[in-house]
Amino acid sequence: MSSSTEKEQVPRVSEFQANLEILRQLQFFSGLSLEALKLVAYLCARQDFRPGDLLFRQDEHDGTAFYIVSGQAGITRDNERGGAVLRTYDKGEFLGGLALVCDMRRLFTLRALTEMTCVTLTRDRFTKVLEQFPEVTAKVLQTIAEAIVVWEQRFLTEGRELSEVCGRMAGMSLL
């Protein structure tokens, strides 16, 4: 039935479906029902960045979370080490989840190092999910608490050779 003049139509996955699949894989959203997750996916937006673009700046209260679909970003601390990149984040990483649940000041500046595409979600939009699905709040807080414990276990295991000062910073899970 196909001829050489017909182009094969490849079905495109909608942005909503792509966002939903991403969210289903993220620990941060793991406790959400499918209905709540669908609303989150609907409220997400895609945003493109060029090298050098700021995703957020140190000391801002922007309330946005980012999932890196493609590209790479790096964090810096203003006025420290000449603006050297302290850590890079790549495709598949989720940043800023805490900004969805509380008004918090950014401790770093996040800048695109390459062309990037991110799925973004703002606290204002996420609040709509919390209003419609109140049980989400407890599930997200549980996920955050679990992540803190996992981080601290890793800190204690891998940080045995760290200085005494770093050792005194242990205990984050005791909040």
| pLDDT tens digits, 35-69 | 999 999 999 999 999 999 999 999 999 999 999 99
For residue 46, give the 3-state DSSP assignment. Answer: strand
Distance CA 110, CA 80 (A): 14
Distance CA 117, CA 85 (A): 20
Structure tokens at 135: 């049980």
Q: Taking a C-beta distance cutoff of 8 angstroms, is the pair 55, 49 a contact? A: yes
Structure tokens at 78: 């203003």
Q: What is the pLDDT of residue 162?
A: 64
| Residues lower than pLDDT 50 in the chain | 1-7
In CATH, the number for domain 15-134 is: 2.60.120.10
Domain boundaries, the chain: 15-134
Q: What is the pLDDT of residue 31?
A: 87
Q: Taking a C-beta distance cutoff of 8 angstroms, is the pair 71, 114 a contact? A: yes
Taking alpha carbons only, the member of 31, 105, 111, 32 closest to residue 66 is: 111
Q: What is the pLDDT of residue 33?
A: 94
Taking alpha carbons only, the member of 8, 23, 59, 50 closest to residue 143 is: 23
Q: What is the pLDDT of residue 3?
A: 45
Query: pTM of the predicted model, to two decimals?
Result: 0.84
Distance CA 144, CA 130 (A): 16
Half-sphere exposure of residue 142, counting CA atoms within 13 Å on the CB side? 9
